[in-house]
């Protein structure tokens, strides 16, 4: 008939059972065979092409598409081509930030331990009270000095041809640990500080005893948790604890942690990681450990890991995707993020660490990557001056208009002001972006409750959701540390706002039975700083409220912040301390607590560190020299001009 030949062939192909039609193609004329093949290749091309239109999270797409599809056309930086090109198959993965993750166990090489960890409360306190700790501390600090001397001589080693640890130390305004390791002169405060140290030792000892090398301790079942956030990396609690152990003078514990990094931290993992989590916990933790101790090991590991994160930036805009396979470098967006978008708080929380990776490695690529993100965010139109939480890494446009200072948005704002401070106040773009974002937040999100509590609501395309997350409570501290550098006439206003937000967050604690705050609290339907939904009542050892107490204490020295911190210590002891560690709780409003069986690594890194700093003198990690990354890892202010002067001086001396 009149039908084109391929129709007949096609029909034959899909209907092999029809009478009179041969399925094998035997007996076809040459021209029919040719048309058949043509059709077949057309079909294959069509199917392959269709893959491009599937969302990134579809496994089929990631199995078949090679990385060339996501090669970058960067806004600005244009230096994307030095990343690894090989590809392996990634898997589906869903893991919202800050949520409990899927359990899994893999055997990890354990370092043989000469010392059995002591987990008895009394024994711990006894050891800490004795002179042993002080002796250990002196030894550790002198070891650190010699490590920094050594690092000076190898400053021209594998990862750095410009950075000198010695010069860096000379450019600090104060010794990092103060005159007496921050020991407060007031005995009551010192006792409280010792208590926090004991809590750290208890948490650490139990992690070591039951979960060594795993990511986190499950204190009720007394085993380790690996989770799916770190792409097969292990020892999250170890990396997150290095600096806390060091500043607390927990010498043996720090040495065990360092040995583990040396012998067992394997960066050649092949799993799917959250770019954000690996950056803030691992890269941040290793960087801090290096800057505090001068141990080259930490620097080398940080740079090696940083390199593995680079392929995540291979997108049309240079905005990284949220998930990366650390082995293959393939990256994709979270399945739960709408339309393959990237999350503001994730791609906006890389700047501090990446700038330091460039400092230490001498490789500009890290700074270029984050400056490119900065440029795009600066240029893009913002609804009412606000930054929505979801952005497409392909088009560079906002995907939906949900704005939050809590989860999904939080640390982006934090990193703007901290980028400015960490640049020795030279990064003017960061400064401008921070203060205009804050203005927009004040105009659109900051609210006063009928009972007089100031809070940050969430914004959904112009409609306010009168809810504040525990995560948003970091903003008291953030607004406080930024108070000095905005318009001078606004200084007091910002300090007041910071104090009001911190007060509200404290109220969310005092209004619960356990004196710990819920995951989210509301200001509608008669609620004032209390959770109204069952699902918002949990507390997972988060630091944000205590973090704001610490900053507000440093900024105002109002004793109430230390009192509030002490209330939190008592509540943690009473409700979260279990026989073998600390655990989150499922409902802060009931005294018959139910534990969630998880000692989060940020409890060691942030919650206990901020408490310790709150009860220490201000010269322990002074804010004139250090900014804390969002996981509370201290990073030094980069004093470019000092470092250059030092370099010139060194040159003159050697001539």
Binding-site residues for Ca(2+) sit at 630
Q: How many residues bind ligand DMJ (CB under 6 A)?
A: 9
Establish whether 277 is a catalytic residue.
Answer: yes
Return phi, psi of residue 547, to 5°.
-55, -45
**Smallest separation, CB 543 to ligand DMJ (Å):** 6
Name which position in 313, 602, 612, 626 contacts ligand DMJ (CB under 6 A).
602
DSSP H helical ranges for 557-628: 560-571, 601-602, 608-614
Shortest separation between residue 602's beta carbon and ligand DMJ, angstroms = 4
Sheet containing strand 323-325, edge to edge, reads 272-274, 323-325, 331-332
Site for ligand DMJ, residues 568 to 587, rule: CB under 6 A: none
Rounded distance between C-alpha atoms, residue 353 and residue 87, angstroms: 26
What is the DSSP annotation of 138-174? Answer: HHHHHHHHHHHHHHHHTTTSTT-SS--HHHHHHT-SS
Task: Compute φ and ψ for 20, nearest 5 degrees.
Answer: 80, 0
Q: Which residue is nearest to ligand DMJ (CB)?
A: 630
Of 136, 205, 256, 277, the catalytic one is 277
Which of the following is catalytic: 80, 410, 587, 619? Answer: 410
Binding-site annotation, residues: 630
CB 542 within 8 A of CB 554: no
Three-state secondary-structure class, residue 363: coil
- CB-based contacts of 92, cutoff 8 Å, min separation 6: 57, 59, 335
In the set 519, 547, 587, 646, the catalytic residue is 519
d(CA 164, CA 169): 9
Number of C-beta neighbours around residue 22 at 10 A? 11
Window 334 to 373, contacts with ligand DMJ (CB under 6 A): none
Is 544 designated active site? Answer: yes
Q: How far is CA 230 from CA 102, 274, 633, in A?
A: 12, 6, 17
Residue 636: which H helix or E strand, with range?
strand 634-636
Question: Among 72, 98, 409, 634, which residue sits at the site for ligand DMJ (rule: CB under 6 A)?
Answer: 98
- Does position 306 interact with ligand DMJ (CB under 6 A)? The reply is no
Q: Does 630 bind ligand DMJ (CB under 6 A)?
A: yes
Q: Which residue from 208, 542, 562, 609 is in contact with ligand DMJ, where contact means CB under 6 A?
A: 542
Find the shortest distance in angstroms from Cβ 219 to ligand DMJ. Answer: 18
Out of 243, 256, 528, 544, pick the active-site residue.
544
Q: Does 509 bind ligand DMJ (CB under 6 A)?
A: no
Q: Reply yes or no on whether 410 is catalytic.
A: yes
Q: Which is nearer to ligand DMJ, 72 or 98 (CB)?
A: 98
Q: Least distance to ligand DMJ from the beta carbon of 116, Å?
A: 31
- Minimum Å gap between C-beta 281 and ligand DMJ is 7
Q: What is the dihedral of CA 26, 32, 34, 38, to 10 degrees?
A: -110
Beta carbon nearer to ligand DMJ, 227 or 543: 543
- Kindly tell me the burial class for residue 613, based on how many C-beta atoms sit within 10 Å of its own C-beta (0-12, 13-18, 19 or more): buried
Is 311 in contact with 329 (CB distance < 8 Å)? yes
Footprint on residues 451-480 left by ligand DMJ (CB under 6 A): 471
**C-alpha triplet 646, 650, 653: angle, nearest 5°:** 140
Distance (Å, rounded) from C-alpha 42 to C-alpha 246? 64
Shortest spacing between CB 72 and ligand DMJ, in angstroms: 27
x-marked contacts with ligand DMJ along 386-425 as a string, rule CB under 6 A: -------------------------x--------------
Least Å distance between CB 630 and ligand DMJ?
A: 4
Q: Are 233 and 326 in contact (CB under 8 A)?
A: yes
Could you tell me which of 121, 91, 104 has the C-alpha nearest to residue 216?
Answer: 104
Q: Contact, 559 vs 188, CB < 8 A?
A: no
Q: Are 412 and 349 in contact (CB under 8 A)?
A: yes
Do residues 256 and 242 make contact, with C-beta atoms less than 8 angstroms apart? no
Residue of the chain from 631, 634, 636, 646 that contacts ligand DMJ (CB under 6 A): 631
Q: Nearer to ligand DMJ by C-beta: 518 or 543? A: 543
Neighbours of 200 (CB within 10 A): 25
Closer by beta carbon to ligand DMJ, 418 or else 542: 542
Closest separation in Å from C-beta 380 to ligand DMJ: 23
The residues annotated with a catalytic role in the active site are 277, 410, 519, 544
**Interaction site with ligand DMJ (CB under 6 A):** 98, 411, 471, 542-543, 602, 606, 630-631
């Amino acid at each position: 008939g009149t039908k084109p030949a391929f129709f007949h062939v096609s029909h034959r192909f899909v209907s092999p059972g029809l009478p009179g039609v041969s399925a094998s193609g035997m007996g076809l004329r040459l021209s029919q065979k040719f048309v058949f093949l043509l059709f077949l290749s057309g079909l294959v091309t069509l199917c392959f092409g269709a893959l491009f239109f599937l969302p990134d999270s579809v496994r089929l797409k990631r199995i078949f598409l090679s990385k060339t599809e996501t090669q970058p056309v960067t806004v600005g930086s244009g230096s994307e081509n030095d990343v690894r090109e090989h590809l392996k198959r990634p898997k589906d993965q869903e893991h919202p930030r800050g949520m409990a993750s899927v359990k899994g166990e893999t055997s990890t090489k354990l370092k043989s331990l000469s010392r059995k960890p002591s987990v008895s409360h009394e024994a711990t306190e006894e050891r800490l009270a004795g002179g042993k700790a002080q002796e250990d501390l002196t030894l550790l600090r002198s070891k650190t000095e010699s490590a920094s001397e050594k690092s000076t001589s190898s400053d021209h080693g594998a990862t750095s041809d410009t950075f000198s640890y010695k010069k860096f130390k000379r450019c600090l305004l104060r010794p990092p640990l103060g005159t007496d390791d921050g020991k407060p002169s007031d005995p009551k405060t010192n006792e409280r500080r010792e208590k926090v140290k004991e809590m750290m030792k208890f948490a650490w000892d139990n992690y070591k005893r039951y979960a060594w090398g795993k990511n986190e301790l499950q204190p009720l079942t007394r085993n380790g948790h690996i989770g799916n956030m770190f792409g097969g990396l292990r020892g999250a609690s170890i990396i997150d604890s290095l600096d806390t152990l060091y500043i607390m003078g927990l010498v043996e514990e720090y040495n065990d942690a360092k040995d583990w990094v040396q012998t067992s931290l394997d960066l050649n993992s092949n799993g799917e990681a959250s770019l954000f989590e690996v950056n803030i916990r691992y890269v941040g933790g290793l960087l801090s450990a290096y800057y505090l101790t001068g141990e080259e090991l930490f620097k080398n590991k940080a740079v090696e890991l940083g390199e593995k994160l680079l392929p995540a930036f291979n997108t049309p805009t240079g905005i990284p995707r949220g998930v990366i396979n650390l082995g293959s470098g393939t990256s994709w967006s979270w399945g739960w993020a709408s339309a393959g978008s990237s999350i503001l708080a994730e791609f906006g929380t890389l700047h501090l660490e990446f700038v330091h990776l460039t400092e230490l490695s001498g490789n500009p690529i890290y700074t270029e990557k984050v400056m490119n993100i900065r440029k795009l965010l600066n240029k893009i139109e913002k609804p009412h001056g606000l930054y929505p939480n979801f952005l497409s890494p392909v088009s560079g446009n906002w995907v939906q208009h949900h704005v939050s200072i809590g989860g999904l948005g939080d640390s982006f704002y934090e990193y703007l002001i901290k980028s400015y401070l960490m640049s020795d106040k030279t990064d003017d773009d960061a400064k401008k972006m921070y203060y205009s974002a804050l203005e927009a937040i004040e105009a659109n999100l900051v609210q006063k409750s009928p009972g007089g509590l100031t809070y940050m609501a969430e914004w959904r395309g112009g409609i306010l959701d009168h809810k504040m997350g525990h995560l948003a409570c970091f903003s008291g501290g953030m607004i406080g540390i930024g108070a000095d550098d905005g318009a001078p006439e606004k200084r007091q206003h910002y300090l007041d706002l910071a104090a009001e937000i911190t007060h509200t967050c404290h109220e969310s604690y005092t209004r619960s039975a356990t004196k710990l705050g819920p995951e989210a609290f509301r200001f509608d339907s008669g609620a004032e700083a209390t959770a109204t939904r069952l699902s918002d009542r949990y507390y997972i050892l988060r630091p944000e409220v205590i973090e704001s107490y610490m900053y507000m204490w440093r900024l105002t020295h109002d004793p109430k912040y230390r009192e509030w911190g002490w209330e939190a210590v008592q509540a943690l002891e009473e409700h979260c301390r279990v026989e073998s560690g600390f655990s989150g709780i499922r409902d802060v409003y009931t005294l018959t607590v139910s534990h969630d069986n998880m000692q989060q690594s940020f409890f060691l890194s942030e919650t206990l560190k901020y408490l310790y700093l709150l009860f220490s003198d201000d010269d322990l990690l002074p804010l004139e020299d250090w900014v804390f990354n969002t996981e509370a890892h201290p990073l030094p202010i980069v004093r470019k001009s000092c470092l250059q002067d030092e370099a010139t001086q060194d040159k003159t001396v050697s001539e």
